Structure 1
């Protein structure tokens, strides 16, 4: 093997080692981040601000006052601890955040006042998804009181459609607020109507017993 061949092989080896080292560094860097996904299920674009914990602590008195007054293009990355993301309507955006670090996010919903600004911390120990729902369809709960003495299939059609088995007694189910159509069969009757589900979880839905409905002194539906 002549000196020229040895030189070429040596350079090839060095390049291969460099490439492997670079790939390992990139892989290590990727392993140090987790994904913060923002899903926007509203009909409008939503402006979300993401702060490092240090920036949130230092700037806490000014954040709400300055909300949506800064230039998105100037904050595509964390500049001075702040990153701004505009999530288009009905779309989602993935953001890589440093693993195990704490961040804060905030965005405005359903109005222009400070009271309409939502903020919360996130700790990036794993991938996290933030879902922004329409104002009239917030995730909540509803109490169902089944007096029929048997399990009944209840269909709810609102922000989402779902059918659930409701056992006798009290059940608490996860739903979305807003006007929701309900349907169920009991006592030889097809019951249906609309229930306006309260976002604060105060809605109580009753499935009356057949005896209660059959009482001659009671007007049906009262």
Structure 2
């Protein structure tokens, strides 16, 4: 992977050098720091077993539209999630199915439900919040754990990570411009070959910084990050 990254850098440097010879100057500052950001609304991932439990034996999730990560999609299927104080209807299922069922909500959603879900990385469900899921036919699935508030994170390929000088599991800060600019701290870096470069925040963060659907953020260099 190091050789591949070095080759990419050599090719990029060569292209910039050739363009410079023709009087075309290329600034790499934006590419070094500029990252797309998406606001992720409440949703859930279902295990194959729970897909069948909620929708019927042999049922297959129906793709509705693609989302930012390759081979992942929003489904036509929607459910109701419930807690001690209330419920939220028409919560979108994301596909494909996963090994464990996981419900992702914002803190605002959690207050409506009467839950206290922890802030966690995807898949880290041990001792997370219990939640009830009701399917379209009225089938009720009660989970003893599985509801979380997803932490802020950036998906990257290994080449992206090498370019930005970070690695899987790092925590960093990003700056958001716009009408309500600010800094989001403690953003998790997730690196995998199958990822596409994108930062994910929930609707509470999106509303706080007036991010509508998608936008771009600036990855802060170490010397820019605040204590």
Q: TM-score range by the shorter chain?
A: under 0.3
Q: Which structure is larger by alpha-carbon Rg, 1 or 2?
A: 1
Superposition TM-score, scaled by structure 1 size: 0.21
Structure possessing the higher relative contact order (Cα contacts under 8 Å, 6 or more residues apart): 2
Higher strand share: 1
TM-score (norm 2): 0.21
